DNA sequence: AATGAACCCAACCGCTTCTCC
DNA sequence: TGGAGAAGCGGTTGGGTTCAT
């Protein structure tokens, strides 16, 4: 038996909030506060919404101190810096950025900063760990690279699904999630015709470099890191 | 002008943590 | 101290918008 749902999903409205609902929630909270109980609030405020939904709407959108619009360079830098230190602790990161919510920061990271972070990381890696095979053809982008995982948690997730992603430096030709699923990892040529070489020692660099933290345990908690890294390396060294 | 792809972000889901009894 | 319920949190989804062809 699972846990009881937080609200009766049959009788609550879902989807985008209407201006009327926003006004009702705002008015109620301005007059009464949320009363220490989000679950009871929708009923008291006359809203057919789940308490969690009300909480989210208030915290992420209706609060008077919310800052909407572009992120400044300083905010970018702060997010980069904090993410490199603590990973995807969005609420902690958001708490350092007045007026920004965890959802805001998370969305901003996922849509803008992650790309940049991966490019930076990948460029660093490509200089030391990846060599193009001489057999690459003209339709291939000029520089191959491995897009590194941006955090231990995403690395764990990706590892669980076998999802280390290979990318080209040409953003328009991202290899469609060329999964390095151990032995089925596009042995030989990838769909873009690349041949890859990743030196064994560099696997450790790749995994323990910035952003990875202590990845061996996080990636493969059920097996020796060396063994798995060996497999991983084998899967990548196709010359 | 039409259409498909890519992007963006609000909202949802479900798991974890906290608080209270 | 343990259990139940509420809050908090991070990952994911889906729909609207913009861009490219």
Cα dihedral A11/A15/A18/A23 (nearest 10): 70
pLDDT at A98 over 80: yes
Position A53 in a domain: yes
Mean pLDDT of chain A: 58
- Judge contact between A120 and A89, C-beta under 8 A: no
pLDDT value of residue A172: 30
Spatial distance between the Cα atoms of A213 and A99, rounded to a whole number of angstroms:
30
Residues A60-90: tens digit of each pLDDT: 888 888 887 888 888 888 888 888 888 888 8
pLDDT value of residue A125: 64
Residues A107 and A171 in one domain: no
| pTM over the 0.75 mark | no
pLDDT value of residue A185: 28
Closest alpha carbon to C1' of B6, residue: A172
Residues A134 and A232 in one domain: yes
The residues close to strand C, meaning Cβ under 7 A, are A 4, 6, 34, 36-39, 51-52, 55-56, 88-92, 102-103, 106-107, 110, 151, 153-154, 157
Of chain A, the percentage scoring pLDDT greater than 90 comes to: 0
pLDDT value of residue A6: 62
Residues A149 and A205 in one domain: yes
Which nucleotides of chain C does any protein CB come within 7 A of?
5-12
Residues A169-218: tens digit of each pLDDT: 333 332 222 222 222 222 222 322 222 323 223 333 333 333 333 333 33
Position A93 in a domain: yes
Residues A222 and A192 in one domain: yes
Position A68 in a domain: no
Distance of CA A108 to the CA centre of its chain: 10
Q: Which nucleotide lies nearest residue A172, CA to C1'?
A: B6
Position A23 in a domain: yes
Q: Round and report the angstrom distance from CA (A41) to C1' (C18).
A: 37
Residues A85 and A142 in one domain: no
The residues close to strand B, meaning Cβ under 7 A, are A 9, 13-17, 50, 52-53, 56-57, 60-61, 68, 103-104, 106-108, 110-112, 171
pLDDT at A107 over 70: yes
Q: A148: domain range?
A: 129-236
Spatial distance between the Cα atoms of A83 and A109, rounded to a whole number of angstroms:
9
Angle, helices A114-128/A200-208, rounded to nearest 10 degrees: 150
Spatial distance between the Cα atoms of A117 and A148, rounded to a whole number of angstroms:
9
Q: Which nucleotide lies nearest residue A9, CA to C1'?
A: B12
pLDDT at A115 over 80: no
Residues A159 and A201 in one domain: yes
Residues A159 and A196 in one domain: yes
pLDDT value of residue A182: 27
Q: Round and report the angstrom distance from CA (A213) to C1' (C11).
A: 20
Residue of higher predicted confidence among A165 and A110: A110
Position A207 in a domain: yes
Q: Which helix (H) or strand (E) holds A236?
A: helix A225-236
Residues A161 and A225 in one domain: yes
Residues A135 and A227 in one domain: yes
Residues A149 and A232 in one domain: yes
Number of H helices, E strands in chain A: 11, 4
Position A133 in a domain: yes
At residue A109 the predicted structure's pLDDT band, cuts being 50, 70 and 90, is confident
pLDDT at A146 over 70: no
Q: How many CB atoms lie within 10 A of CB A142?
A: 9
Spatial distance between the Cα atoms of A187 and A171, rounded to a whole number of angstroms:
23
- At A43, list the tokens: 């009923």
Contacts of residue A110, Cβ cutoff 8 Å, sequence gap at least 6: none
- At A135, list the tokens: 């057999």
- What's phi and psi for A140, nearest 5 deg? -90, 145
Contacts of residue A57, Cβ cutoff 8 Å, sequence gap at least 6: A17, A21, A22, A25, A49
pLDDT value of residue A126: 62
Q: Where are the beta strands (DSSP E) in A5-52?
A: none
- Identify the bridge partners of residue A132 per DSSP, sorted by sequence position: A196
> Which three-class secondary structure string do you get for A65-86?
CCCCCCCCHHHHHHHHHHHHHH
pLDDT (mean) for A36-47: 86
- Total of domains in chain A: 3
pLDDT at A124 over 60: yes
CATH of the domain at A47: 1.10.10.60
Residues A108 and A152 in one domain: no
SS3 A90: helix
- Among A20, A35, A62, the domain-final residue is A62
Position A218 in a domain: yes
Residues A135 and A163 in one domain: yes
Position A146 in a domain: yes
């Amino acid at each position: 038996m699972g846990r009881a749902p937080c609200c009766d999903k049959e009788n609550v409205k879902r989807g985008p909030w209407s201006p009327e609902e926003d006004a009702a929630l705002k008015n109620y909270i301005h007059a009464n506060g949320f009363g220490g109980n989000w679950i009871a609030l929708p009923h008291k405020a006359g809203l057919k919404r789940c308490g969690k939904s009300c909480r989210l709407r208030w915290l992420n959108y209706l609060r008077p101190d919310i800052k909407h619009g572009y992120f400044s360079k300083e905010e970018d830098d702060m997010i980069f810096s904090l993410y490199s230190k603590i990973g995807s602790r969005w609420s902690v990161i958001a708490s350092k950025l007045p007026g920004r919510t965890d959802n805001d920061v998370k969305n901003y990271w996922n849509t803008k900063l992650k790309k940049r972070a991966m490019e930076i990381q990948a460029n660093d890696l490509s200089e030391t760990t990846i060599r193009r095979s001489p057999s690459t053809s003209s339709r291939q982008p000029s520089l191959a690279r491995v897009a590194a995982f941006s955090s231990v948690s995403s690395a764990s997730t990706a590892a669980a699904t076998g999802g280390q992603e290979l990318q080209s430096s040409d953003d328009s030709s991202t290899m469609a999630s060329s999964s390095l699923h151990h032995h089925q990892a596009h042995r030989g040529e990838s769909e873009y015709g690349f041949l890859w070489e990743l030196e064994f020692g560099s696997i450790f660099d790749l995994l323990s470099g910035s952003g990875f933290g202590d990845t061996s345990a996080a990636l493969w908690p059920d097996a020796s890191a060396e063994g798995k890294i060996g497999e991983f390396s084998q899967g990548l060294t196709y010359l």
